[in-house]
Amino acid sequence: MQYKTKGYKIFTVFNYTFLSIFALLCMLPLIHIFAVSLSGSAAASGNLVTLWPVDFTLDAYEKTIGNSNFLRSFGLSVVRVVLGTAISMGVLLCAAYALAKDDHEFKGRKIYMWFFVFTMLFNGGLVPTYILVTNLGLTDTIWALVLPTAINAFNLILLVNFFRTSVPKALEESAFLDGAGHFTIFLKIYLPIAVPAIATVTLFTMVFHWNQWFDGMIYMTNEANYPLQTFLQSIVVKKDLSNIADPETLRNMSQRTVEAAQIFITALPMLIVYPFLQKYFVKGIVLGAEKE
């Protein structure tokens, strides 16, 4: 499908240029942070680093990797992402299959749907959620991080709509007439066909769990249970320097380079995951089984 018209050629040149410039703009801050993370701490705190390290050193990375809390938190975050995504996707996919049926095929669908939509709009807020989670005894367990957030109505709605737009009704019905049950249709038809959708929502869920820091902060009483972003947040939060009389303490607190290194290291895993999932929605799946 190549188009050799003159207009399209001009467009292609423009397209490549435009996307390259946009991509460059998106790179700059990260390059800056990367450069800061590789710079001397004094140069960093004087904001003398732009896109190239000043007084090159790997100190910040040594400190970061060497911090036992960092690695433990990193591990916890990985567990959280895997467990949280697995639970969330399992629950969402099951629900989305049922809700992707038409109203006349599945009585009660509407009620279920609005039941979930409602959770997107109203929430009890911080205090009651906290009371619930603590009373359930989830404090200081991974469940406090993965269970309350398992149902995300937005992702559910996305999945439902992806299912409805990408699964050919004819295919489903013919399978149905051949005697396949709901579970078979779900596993053999919906899941394989909706791979791009599943990849997308999986990515959203993973990124959500990876980035979330606030719940870690309120539900984990023990610092050893902080997931990575919570740990990172506890470092980059605003600190009150005026209580500190001791010069060494001041120095420990004001390491911009360490902050930068940690930001870079935390962004990295999601950058690795993305291209891996990308192939599922760049190309799409050719619907071989489809009949007109």
Partner 1 sequence: MFKKSFALIGITIISMLLIAGCMQKQETETEDGNPIITTVRTLDDGTVFKDGEDVNNNVVTQWAEDELGIKFNTLWTRPNDEQYNQQLRLAMSANEPLPDVFQVTDAQMISDLIESGRVMSIDDAIEEHASPRLKELFEQFPEAFYQATVDGVRYGIPRLSGGNGSDTVMYVRQDWLDEFNLEAPKTIEELEEVMEIFVHEDPDGNGADDTIGITLSAGDVGFGRTNVGDTSFIFGSYGNFMPGLWSEAEDGSIQYGSIQPNMKDALAKLNEWFEKGYLSKEIAIEPEDQAQQSFIAGKSGIIIAPPWAFDYPIGDLFSNNPDAVVKPYALPEGIDGEAGRKGERLMTGSFLFSTEFEHMDKYFEYLDAIYGYTFGESDYFENGLFEGYDYVMQDGDPVYDAAGIEEITGEQKVDPGRYFLPTNVPAIPYQMYGILEEFHETERAPESAYEASLAGREPEYVEAAALVNQQNDIRVENLFTGPPTETMIKSWENLERMELEIFANIVYGNESIDAFDDFVERWKSTGGEQVTTEVNEWYNSVQ
Partner 2 sequence: MEVKDTAIKESHMKAKLKLAPEKQKNKKRKQKWAFRNNWPLHVLLIPGVILALVFQYGPMAGIVMAFQDFKPWLGFFGSEWVGFEHFRAMFEFDYARQVIWNTLIISVMKLITGIIVPITIALLLNEIYRMKFKRTIQTVIYLPYFLSWVILGGILIDILSPDGGLINNVLGLFGINPIFFLGSNEWFRSTIIMTDIWKETGFNTIVFLAAITAVNPNLYEAAAIDGANRWKQTLYVTLPAMLPIIIVVGTISLGNILNAGFDQIFNLYNPLVYETGDIIDTYVYRVGLIDGNFSYGAAVGLFKSFISLILIVIGYRLAYKYANYRIF
Of residues 218 through 237, those in contact with partner 1 by CB under 8 A are 218, 221-223, 233-235, 237
Which of these segments, 38-46, 56-64, 71-79, 174-182, binds partner 2 (CB under 8 A)?
174-182
Instruction: Give, as ranges, the residues between 91 and 130 that touch partner 1 (CB under 8 A).
Output: 126-127, 130
In the complex, least distance from residue 274 CB atom to partner 2, rounded to whole angstroms: 6
241-to-52, 238, 246, 249, 265 alpha-carbon distances in Å: 29, 9, 10, 9, 26
The reply on whether position 254 binds partner 1 by CB under 8 A is yes
Among 57, 67, 69, 129, binds partner 2 (CB under 8 A): 129
Pick between residue 58 and residue 285 the one whose CB is nearest to partner 2.
285
Residue 282, C-beta contacts closer than 8 angstroms, at least 6 positions apart: none
Nearest to 84 by CA among 253, 258, 205, 244: 205
The reply on whether position 83 binds partner 2 by CB under 8 A is no
Q: Are 197 and 206 in contact (CB under 8 A)?
A: no
Q: Are 162 and 57 in contact (CB under 8 A)?
A: no
Per-residue string for binding with partner 2, 180-219, x by CB under 8 A? Answer: -xxx--x---------xx-xx--xx--x---x--------
CA distance linking residue 231 with residue 262, whole number of Å: 10
Q: Helix 109-121 vs helix 68-99: angle between axes, to the nearest 10 degrees?
A: 150
The reply on whether position 134 binds partner 1 by CB under 8 A is yes
Q: Which does 111 bind (CB under 5 to 8 A by kind): partner 1, partner 2, none?
A: none
